[in-house]
Amino acid sequence: MPRIYIETYGCQMNVSDSELMLGVLRREGYVRTDDPAQADVVLVNTCAVRDHAEQKVLSRVGELKRLKRPGGVLGVAGCMAQRLGPRLLERVPQIDLVVGPDGYRGLPELIARARAGERTADVMFKHWEHYEDVPPVRGDAVSAFVTVQRGCDYRCTFCIVPMTRGAERSRKLADVVREVTDLARGGTTEVTLLGQTVNSYDDGTHDFADLLRAVGGIPGVRRLRFTSPYPTDFTERAVAAMAETPALCEHVHLPVQSGSSRVLKRMLRRYDRERYLDVVAALRRAVPGIALTTDIIVGFPGETEHDFQETLSLVEVVGFDDAYTFKYSRREATPATRLKDPVPDAVAGERLERLVAAVRGIARRRNVALVGSTHEVLVEGRAKRGELLQGRTRTNKVALLAGPDAWIGGYRDVRFTGTTGSTFTAVPLGHVLGGELAVVG
């Protein structure tokens, strides 16, 4: 049986797309291997959002090409593949195929052509493509990513994604419900709905509110998440659906990008600072105890120290539980490349450091306040280092606890006993340790 090795970079959608690629190839008899040196086909699923992500992939491809077996195939998939297309084939002679996010159905043919000595780049957009007939090969039985929407119709001036993933389209609600129902029957209890602007979901008949209620109502779905929403695409209906869907977890990742209305306008974000804060307030009213995380870019062209101060103050006002922070990375052919007043790299770097410190400080304050509180965690597995199990709360906080392997994949009530500032130590509630009750009321 031919062996496939696949390595995934970037966002959750890429993780989900890699599961689709494995699904396409399983139909052809492929089995998965964890060792690229043993693989007949090696695929790298890439990200193009920042230059750093692309450089990392290029150096990794440099390593993988040396492991290539005689007759083996090395392919690059995903957003960087879509962005560079045939240019990648020119640049790295050992790459046999390049395939964008809409071309995965054609992988068997592209591989066959590569074997025949033909190097191909398939970067055609297919507006209808949802891979509806392809059962993804998922790694984890308990938690599943389910893509409900592909592409993006927004035109944020910094962002390459509309150029790599094409136009927005939503899967039919009934198809999503069927997939999640099957997953739940197989033991999946946590589902994360994925889309570039997932809350603009619209299948022609049903909106995001319908989607949340429908998926949240499937028996066996205990935790429902979604990512990433666009701040101003939450309708009142969607917020009400969030409030009234018990499975919906108390965490939303809500990318703000900047706290300055002036910068937001230049980014072509469709909200200003006040509007974003209104959305935060609406979510907090609807979902008590909701944790909020975000994405922030510093050093966007024209960003002044005053603009940056606005970002620092927004971080403080919202009190994010965590934030992914990035230095602006200029992406070829995006609208922002035409903006004047680039921020010098050293200035952007220094702002990033100040922002990271602010985010950490605020997260630490929030987390210290949570020590002593009780939470339900889904036990995901053993923590990377040490003996402890790693669990996750509905608010997406990571907690480490002692316990047997038998707990993996299940839910436990725990009490937080300490925090590093970002993650927690915890003990199971009512669990007897060494003959003593470890937790006292």
Q: Does 424 bind ligand 5AD (CB under 6 A)?
A: no
One residue of 5, 131, 145, 158 binding ligand 5AD per CB under 6 A: 158
- Beta carbon nearer to ligand 5AD, 170 or 329: 329
Are the C-beta atoms of residues 196 and 228 closer than 8 Å to each other? yes
For CA atoms 321, 326, 327, 330, give the dihedral sign.
negative
Q: Euclidean distance between the first and final Cα of the chain, in Å?
A: 57
Give min distance, CB of 405 to ligand 5AD, in A: 34
Can you point out the beta strands (E) in 355-402?
374-382, 389-393, 398-401
28 binds ligand 5AD (CB under 6 A): no
Any contact of residue 159 with ligand 5AD (CB under 6 A)?
A: yes
How far apart, in whole angstroms, are the C-alpha atoms of residue 414 and residue 245?
Answer: 23
Name which of 18 and 157 has its Cβ closer to ligand 5AD.
Answer: 157
Closest CB 207 distance from ligand 5AD, rounded Å: 23
Report the residue from 36, 100, 136, 255 that binds ligand 5AD according to the rule CB under 6 A: 255
* 390 contacts: CB under 8 Å, gap ≥ 6: 379, 380, 381, 382, 383, 384, 398, 399, 400
Binding residues for ligand 5AD, rule CB under 6 A, total 12
Question: 72 or 101: whose CB is closer to ligand 5AD?
Answer: 101
Contact pattern for ligand 5AD over residues 64 through 103, marking x by CB under 6 A: ----------------------------------------
CA separation, residue 286 to residues 396, 397, 404 (Å): 18, 20, 37
164 binding ligand 5AD? (CB under 6 A): no
In angstroms, what is the minimal distance from the CB of 197 to ligand 5AD? 11
257 binds ligand 5AD (CB under 6 A): yes
Q: For ligand 5AD, which is the closer residue by CB, 131 or 328? A: 328
Q: Is 50 in the site for ligand 5AD (CB under 6 A)?
A: yes
CA distance 97 to 68: 14
Among 158, 163, 165, smallest CA distance to 338 is for: 158
Phi, psi of 206, rounded to the nearest 5 degrees: -120, 145
Residue (of 251, 244, 222, 246) closest to 412 by Cα position: 222
- Closest CB 303 distance from ligand 5AD, rounded Å: 12
Pair of tokens at residue 56 = 């990392």
* Cα dihedral across residues 104, 75, 52, 356: positive or negative: positive
Please answer whether residues 299 and 328 qualify as being in contact, where contact means their C-beta atoms are separated by less than 8 angstroms: yes
Q: Which is nearer to ligand 5AD, 257 or 390 (CB)?
A: 257
Asked if 254 is part of the footprint of ligand 5AD (rule: CB under 6 A), the reply reads no
Min. distance of Cβ 195 from ligand 5AD in angstroms? 13
Binding to ligand 5AD by CB under 6 A, coded x per residue (else -) over 295-334, reads x-x----------------------------x-xx-x---
Shortest approach of ligand 5AD to residue 329 CB, angstroms? 4
- Cα(324)–Cα(294) distance, rounded to whole angstroms? 6
Burial (CB count within 10 angstroms: exposed 0-12, middle 13-18, buried 19+), residue 305: exposed
Site string for ligand 5AD, 327-366 (x = CB under 6 A): -xx-x-----------------------------------
Residue nearest to ligand 5AD (CB): 295
The closest of 66, 21, 13, 72 to 44, measured between CA atoms, is 21
Kindly tell me which of 47 and 88 has the beta carbon lying closer to ligand 5AD.
Answer: 47
Of 400, 328, 313, residue with least CA distance to 362: 313
- The least CB distance from residue 160 to ligand 5AD, in Å, is 6
Residues binding ligand 5AD (CB under 6 A): 49-50, 158-159, 255, 257, 295, 297, 326, 328-329, 331
